[in-house]
Amino acid sequence: MNNSTISDQRPDNFTSSWRTGTASAAISEIVRSSVVAIVVMLCLSLLRQCQAQEIETPPKGPAHLNAVLDDWSRREAAIPSLRIRWTREERLLAAPMEPDDAVEGGGAIPQVVELTTACELVVDGDRFRYFRNGDRWIGKAHRLGVAEEARAWDGEIYYSYYRDPTEKYPRGIIEAGPPVFDIFMHDVHSLAPKLAFRPLNSVFRTMLDPERLRLAERDEFVDDCQCAVLELIQPAHGRGKPPRIRYELWIDRARASLPLRLVAYRSEVPMSDLTISYRHDDKVGWVPTGWSFRRFGHIPRRPPWTTLAVVKEFEANPSIAEEPFHFDYPPGTMVGDKRAGTSPAFHVIRLDGTRRDVARDESSADYDRLIQPGS
Report the 10 Å Cβ neighbour count for 34. Answer: 10
- Average pLDDT of every residue of the chain: 78
Give 170-220 pLDDT, tens digit per residue.
999 998 877 665 545 456 778 899 899 988 877 765 567 777 888 888 888
Query: What is the helix, strand, coil percentage profile of the chain, to 5?
Result: 25, 40, 35
Q: Which helix (H) or strand (E) holds 31?
A: helix 2-56
CA distance 56 to 51: 9
26 has a pLDDT exceeding 90? no
CA quadruple 237, 204, 178, 331: dihedral sign? negative
* C-beta atoms surrounding 284 within 10 Å: 16
Q: Which of 264, 281, 311, 257 is nearest to 85 (CA)?
A: 311
CA 114 to chain centre: 20
In which band, very low, low, confident or very high, does the pLDDT at 8 lie, cut at 50, 70 and 90? very low
For residue 89, with 0-12 CB atoms within 10 Å meaning exposed, 13-18 middle and 19 or more buried, which class applies?
Answer: middle
According to DSSP, the β-strands at 334-337 and 171-176 are: parallel
Query: Is the model's pLDDT at 115 over the cut of 70?
Result: yes
pLDDT confidence of 108, banded at 50, 70, 90?
low
Higher local confidence (pLDDT), 303 or 250: 250
- CA 302, distance to chain mean position in Å, is 18
- Enumerate residues 6+ apart whose C-beta is below 8 A from 128: 121, 122, 151, 152, 153, 203, 204, 325
pLDDT number for residue 102: 46
Among 264-268, 293-297, 325-329, 345-349, which range has the highest average pLDDT? 345-349
The predicted-structure confidence for 44-71, as pLDDT tens digits, reads as follows 555 445 443 433 444 456 788 889 999 9
Confidence of residue 244 (pLDDT cuts 50, 70, 90): confident
**What distance in Å separates the CA atoms of residue 296 and residue 306, rounded to the nearest whole number?**
9
Average pLDDT score over residue span 210-233: 85
Average pLDDT score over residue span 341-363: 88
Q: How many residues does the chain have?
A: 375
- When pLDDT is cut at 50, 70 and 90, the band that residue 34 belongs to is low
Of 120 and 27, which is predicted with more confidence? 120
User: Where does the pLDDT of residue 350 fall: very low under 50, low under 70, confident under 90, or very high at 90 and above?
Assistant: very high
Return all residues near 147 (Cβ < 8 A) that are at least 6 apart: 133, 134, 135, 136, 162, 163, 164, 165
Q: Sorting pLDDT into bands at 50, 70 and 90, what band is 5?
A: very low
Identify the pLDDT of residue 266: 83
Phi, psi values for residue 141, rounded to 5°: -90, -10
* Residue-level pLDDT at 346: 92
Is the separation of the CB atoms in 260 and 225 below 8 Å?
A: yes
Average pLDDT (113-126) is: 91
